[in-house]
A and B are shown apart, each in its own frame.
Chain A
Amino acid sequence: MKSFTYERAETLEQAAGIVAANAEAKFIAGGTNLLDLMKLEIETPRHLVDINHLGLDRIEETEDGGLKIGALVRNTDLAADVRVRRDYAVLTRALVAGASGQLRNKATTAGNLLQRSRCPYFYDPSKPCNKRDPGSGCSALEGHSRTLAVVGTSDHCISQHPSDMAVALRALDARVNVMSARGGEKSLTLDEFYRLPGETPHIETVLQHGDLITGVTLPKPVKGVHFYRKVRDRASYAFALVSVAAVVDEDGREGRYAFGGIAPRPWTAGGEARAEGGASVIAARALDGARPTGENVFKLPLLERTLKAVLKDAAQTSGK
């Protein structure tokens, strides 16, 4: 690990100010992604600003009946919150489908959103990777791409976004709240927050250096049957090949859907979570323009079948 200095921030403004003023500084939250990458020298900050003690660890109700989740709320606490379990079960389900109990006890809401690629070449500094080393090339295009994205990709990067939580947040139309170091707050949808790779896959979000995520806001609960179905190589403790977050209306005709494992950000059918129709219609819209590789073309039928299974379960649950 490269050497760095460390400080514990006392206020939000101070934390954002320190990072904004130092191009080599970074925030550290749970540390479960950042330290992993620092050990491999894929991330090399020279100064760490610890944001664990800024009071961003609360979940509060909003005036319009939704929830405001602090950026530092641990994944375990978010999954276990009684309001989330009752009104946003898709989010609890997605959280507990990710990582392990130990990791979820440390991982935070903001850190989870900002976790970086799990592409094997991103993790291998001996291989070209545009995301790790801009302009060096993409080893995955001609290499191992089984786990990678099939849609929303570019000739410069085909990495998928690895978060499970973010897929549920997309289905729920959550917004990310950001405090700018230059003053001002903004609230972004996930589609606004995450950038597609294009020619600059190393720039993953619209955040400016020093911008601090303060939390995530959920709109008021939507009625329906909540599901998170994750297909992976092991029964537990593995990233998604394909995942479906769904809140299906009681009559089964419409619902809210978001998809993981297939794109550089949580994905939807045609840019809207809300969709109607059967699995083949919705999957076809979600996969419109897909450019799979020979190794990951299986994700196309897998997505449709996973969605079909979810809709079948939804029909059974509603029929009970």
Chain B
Amino acid sequence: MNSEDTASATPRMSVTLTVNGKDEHLTIDPRVTLLDALRDHLGLTGTKKGCDHGQCGACTVHVNGRRINSCLTLAVMHEGEDVTTIEGLGTPEHMHALQQAFVERDAFQCGYCTPGQICSAAAVIEEIEAGIPSHVTPDLGDVQFSDEEVRERMSGNLCRCAAYPNIIAAIRDVREGGKA
């Protein structure tokens, strides 16, 4: 961002988002992405910034129940919408089944990609249940859970530490345990 521009007065806008069940009123520059609104304005730093260009998935959150890259959308475009971040999926005291499974399966090393992986994985399990096809679905009319489906659907979440095998195992555990 160019500093001159940052200083120039863009009229700020107000926007209300429901974040993890709580209404949040923000007055922000329209340039603020949903990712920066969450991290810098609401202090929800669980959602991570990797590339800031839709390439890594670290910023994955749910908006109105669907996973998206929060770096490639503006906060002001989400007036009145429901946002769920990793903090809303579960807490250290009440972990989401996927959070638990990631711990048990050692599905991370540095952990930077993990919030995005978990938010994405929660949606992947639902997308398969809903019958949304993927690139590896053999029969478009009959979508079944498989490791191959999970790998393909999780391809928008990169892990520099390459914890991929354990990530797949954790997702499989949750799906088999029916705890998603």
Which A residues are closer than 8 A to B by beta carbons?
1-6, 8, 28, 30-32, 35-36, 39, 41, 48, 50, 52, 76, 79-80, 85-86, 89, 92-93, 96-97, 99-103, 105-106, 235-237
Interface of A is mostly: mixed
Closest to A100 in B: B156
Question: B135: CB under 8 A from chain A?
Answer: yes
Q: B133, A101: Cβ atoms under 8 Å?
A: no
Closest Cβ of chain A: how far from B131's Cβ, in Å? Answer: 7
Closest Cβ of chain A: how far from B168's Cβ, in Å? Answer: 14
Chain B neighbourhood of A237, CB < 8 A: 155-156
Question: B76: CB under 8 A from chain A?
Answer: yes
15 contacts between A and B (CB under 8 A): A4-B30, A5-B30, A6-B13, A28-B77, A32-B72, A39-B53, A48-B30, A79-B133, A86-B141, A92-B133, A96-B135, A100-B57, A102-B67, A103-B156, A105-B66
Q: A3, B5: Cβ atoms under 8 Å?
A: yes
Q: A35, B156: Cβ atoms under 8 Å?
A: no
Q: A80, B132: Cβ atoms under 8 Å?
A: yes
Closest to B76 in A: A6
One digit per residue, 1 when the CB lies within 8 angstroms of any chain A CB and 0 when it does not, for chain B 45-56 equals 000000011100
Instruction: Report the Cα distance A3→B8, complex, angstroms.
Output: 8
Q: Are A101 and B120 CB-contacts (below 8 A) given A36-B53, A236-B135?
A: yes
Closest to A103 in B: B54
Q: Are A85 and B133 CB-contacts (below 8 A) given A4-B31, A35-B33?
A: yes
Question: B113: CB under 8 A from chain A?
Answer: no
Q: Are A85 and B5 CB-contacts (below 8 A) given A28-B77, A102-B60?
A: no
Residue from A28, A31, A36, A99 in contact with B156 in the complex, judged by beta carbons closer than 8 Å: A99
Instruction: Report the Cα distance A39→B5, complex, angstroms.
Output: 13
Q: A2, B60: Cβ atoms under 8 Å?
A: no
Q: A35, B57: Cβ atoms under 8 Å?
A: no
Chain A neighbourhood of B11, CB < 8 A: 5
Q: A32, B10: Cβ atoms under 8 Å?
A: no
Closest Cβ of chain A: how far from B142's Cβ, in Å? Answer: 10
Closest Cβ of chain A: how far from B154's Cβ, in Å? Answer: 8
Closest to A31 in B: B73
Chain A neighbourhood of B68, CB < 8 A: 102, 105-106
Closest to A34 in B: B72
Interface size range of chain B in the complex:
35 or more
Q: B10, A4: Cβ atoms under 8 Å?
A: yes
Closest Cβ of chain B: how far from A46's Cβ, in Å? Answer: 10
Q: B155, A236: Cβ atoms under 8 Å?
A: yes
Q: B156, A85: Cβ atoms under 8 Å?
A: no
Q: B74, A100: Cβ atoms under 8 Å?
A: no
Q: A3, B33: Cβ atoms under 8 Å?
A: no
Chain B neighbourhood of A76, CB < 8 A: 66, 132
Chain B neighbourhood of A80, CB < 8 A: 130-133
Q: A102, B77: Cβ atoms under 8 Å?
A: no
Closest to A86 in B: B141
Q: Are A50 and B77 CB-contacts (below 8 A) given A2-B5, A36-B54, A102-B60?
A: yes
10 nearest CB pairs, A to B: A100-B156, A236-B155, A6-B30, A3-B10, A237-B155, A85-B140, A80-B132, A105-B66, A96-B135, A32-B72
Q: A102, B132: Cβ atoms under 8 Å?
A: no
Closest Cβ of chain A: how far from B173's Cβ, in Å? Answer: 20
Q: A101, B54: Cβ atoms under 8 Å?
A: no
Instruction: Report the Cα distance A106→B66, complex, angstroms.
Output: 9
Chain A neighbourhood of B157, CB < 8 A: 100
Q: A101, B67: Cβ atoms under 8 Å?
A: yes
Closest to A106 in B: B68
Instruction: Report the Cα distance A4→B123, complex, angstroms.
Output: 33
Residue from B1, B69, B127 in contact with A106 in the complex, judged by beta carbons closer than 8 Å: B69
Chain A neighbourhood of B137, CB < 8 A: 96
Instruction: Report the Cα distance A28→B31, complex, angstroms.
Output: 13
Question: B166: CB under 8 A from chain A?
Answer: no
Instruction: Report the Cα distance A93→B140, complex, angstroms.
Output: 9
Closest Cβ of chain A: how far from B50's Cβ, in Å? Answer: 12
Question: B29: CB under 8 A from chain A?
Answer: yes
Closest to B67 in A: A102
Instruction: Report the Cα distance A101→B62, complex, angstroms.
Output: 12
Question: B2: CB under 8 A from chain A?
Answer: yes
Q: Are A2 and B69 CB-contacts (below 8 A) given A35-B74, A52-B77?
A: no
Q: A102, B73: Cβ atoms under 8 Å?
A: no
Closest to B57 in A: A102
Q: B153, A101: Cβ atoms under 8 Å?
A: yes
Instruction: Report the Cα distance A79→B154, complex, angstroms.
Output: 17
Question: B134: CB under 8 A from chain A?
Answer: yes
Q: B67, A85: Cβ atoms under 8 Å?
A: no
One digit per residue, 1 when the CB lies within 8 angstroms of any chain A CB and 0 when it does not, for chain B 137-173 equals 1001100000000011101110000000000000000
